Chains A and B, each alone.
Chain A
């Protein structure tokens, strides 16, 4: 019964990964010639001499270190903010909408919002006397712009996880703490936060993993520009391997590096969610 899955995954992952590793040691460039030679590690050495590759790593790191923490804090705050208010269900569903929208559509919407001359964002800022900002044309603001879109699209995901976690905390636990004289802050710090902590960790690592995939939004809004300011690592691989370069060998070397990072992260997630227990394999606890 597992045969269909095995067949699918062997054909669609093992084989491509094998191909990728093989190609990463060769001068496999579709724009040059069909002949390829073994060239050892030089594709890998090239990464460290390639300023765009370094820049794409830096921007990906910025996304990870700015967008993800902001999403985490906002998500937790919003979960607490709407708990128990009137119309909670409608508000909750509305707040989830951004994460349900295909990122390509979000890209269209935000590209309109960021428009230099006619965009609502610049109009809104002008009410406060802020001069027009070239959101997608200036390196600093383009990076900030992508970060804002990422926060907009993925805070709902964190919110959803934390909110679901809050629902599962038994109310009598909170009531008991209240009876013992704990105020709002203490209940959060000593009752809710410790119970939510594993969930927050999982949300964090899942977001980090997904952040490495950031592609559609960049493609739809800035196309990596201006210059190479908003290249994410995934977007750079796409440019090297498909859209500009056809340099399959170099793109494969870049991919192998990303794959290693992703595999390390996946293992961290599995430890955090106690994957084996969840799947029902051993581990009595």
Chain B
């Protein structure tokens, strides 16, 4: 009886794994399929002639309106994603740390300020997307990196502040006080004593910020309109219309979009678990 239960359990786990991993598998193998294997029935579950053409571009993919093919076309979007993501990660971590320290140590603004900052994270982005579009148009910031960096910061900073408040609170107050006794100003205490001690927390916030900015879709869609500032997810969105999509190159672009985040996220998994269920 117990043996049967164990077998049933493993079968259920296998079904779960297939359900949750198959779409990813499909995307990955399609990226390595030559164009004649994209549209077959029954579908090809293993590419018989794996190719890298989808990544580097080839004549045959152009038949399908495949301007998506080739790294050269993805490059501007990849560059935009990297510039925006890294800036958001750096700036976001710095201002989250400053605010979190002030709130954790000096209770600046009281519970209201802290709750207000965190609540912003939970509001639907579409709510601010329309007014931001109008305002950024007036400021001539539409289709610039700054439009994305500023709007992504609003998404990223609340979570950063939340995580870092709990991080700073775990560092004993006595350590700051010892620094004051030695004649340090509050800012010096923060910069030379508290920050180095909270390096893992800062790293986690930076990684999480990068991940969020990298995958953000709606604001990037509304606030940019060409290769000068559009990010990778929008690149994918542009090429998915039409009835015969160049699946191979699009999947290859999907891998480029997905890989950095998945790798980062798996590395930061521990912090993720902690951030979501902190102090429990």
Binding site for B on A (CB under 8 A): 1-2, 4-5, 8-9, 11-13, 15-17, 19-20, 23, 78, 81-82, 85, 91, 93-98, 100-113, 117-120, 123, 152, 155-156, 160-161, 164-165, 168, 199, 209, 212-213, 215-216, 219-220, 223, 234, 237-238, 241-242, 248, 251-252, 255, 258-259, 262-263, 265-266, 269-270, 275-276, 278-282
A164 to B272, CA, bound (A): 10
Tell me the dominant secondary structure on chain B's binding face.
helix
6 closest cross-chain pairs (CB), A and B? A102-B215, A104-B233, A16-B131, A100-B265, A1-B102, A281-B111
B102 near A160: Cβ-Cβ < 8 Å: no
Spell out B's residues near A (CB within 8 Å).
9-10, 12-13, 16-17, 19-24, 26-27, 30, 38-43, 45, 94-96, 98-99, 101-104, 107-111, 113-120, 122-135, 150-151, 153-154, 157, 161, 165-166, 169, 187, 190, 211, 214-215, 217-218, 221-222, 232-234, 236-237, 240-241, 245, 247, 250-251, 254, 257-258, 261-262, 265-266, 269, 272-273, 276-280
- Is the CB–CB distance between A255 and B257 below 8 Å? no
The reply to whether A108 and B254 form a contact with Cβ atoms under 8 Å apart is yes
A97 CA to B110 CA, complexed, in Å: 38
| Other-chain contact of A117, B41, B107, B118, B273 (Cβ < 8 Å) | B41
Number of A-B contacts (CB under 8 A): 275
Residues of A within 8 A of B276 (CB): 160-161, 164
Decide: B20 and A94 in contact? CB cutoff 8 A: yes
14 A-B interface contacts by CB (under 8 A): A1-B98, A2-B103, A8-B153, A9-B154, A78-B16, A91-B17, A96-B265, A104-B215, A109-B26, A113-B22, A117-B39, A118-B40, A237-B127, A241-B133
Q: Are A85 and B13 in contact (CB under 8 A)?
A: yes
Indicate whether A101 sits within 8 Å of B261 (C-beta atoms), given known contacts A16-B131, A23-B131. yes
Q: Which residues of A contact B21 (CB under 8 A)?
A: 94, 97
Q: What chain A residues lie within 8 Å of B135 (beta carbons)?
A: 15-16, 19
Contact status A94-B17, CB under 8 Å: yes
What is the distance, in angstroms, from A78's C-beta to the closest C-beta of chain B? 6
In the complex, what distance in Å separates the CA atom of A243 from the CA atom of B101? 41
Contacts of A11 in B (CB 8 A): 150
Asked whether A103 and B115 contact (CB < 8 A) given A94-B21, A108-B254, A252-B130, the answer is: no
Bound complex: CA A91 to CA B12 (Å): 12
Please state if B214 and A102 are interface contacts (CB–CB under 8 Å): yes
Distance from A226 Cβ to chain B, minimum over Cβ atoms (Å): 14
Give the interface centre of B234, B261, B269, B273 by most chain A CB atoms within 10 Å.
Answer: B273
Q: How far is the CB of B60 from chain A (nearest CB, A)?
A: 17
- Asked whether, in the complex, the Cβ of B123 is within 8 Å of the Cβ of A259, the reply is yes
Which residues of A are found within 8 Å of B95, using beta-carbon distances?
4-5, 8
Chain B: CB-nearest residue to A18: B131
Which of A91, A118, A152 interacts with B19 by CB under 8 Å? A152
Set of chain A residues within 8 Å of B272, measured between Cβ atoms = 160
Task: Give the Cβ gap from B113 to chain A, nearest Cβ, in Å.
Answer: 7
Please determine whether B101 and A259 come into contact, CB atoms closer than 8 angstroms: no
Separation in Å of the B163 CB from the closest CB of chain A?
11
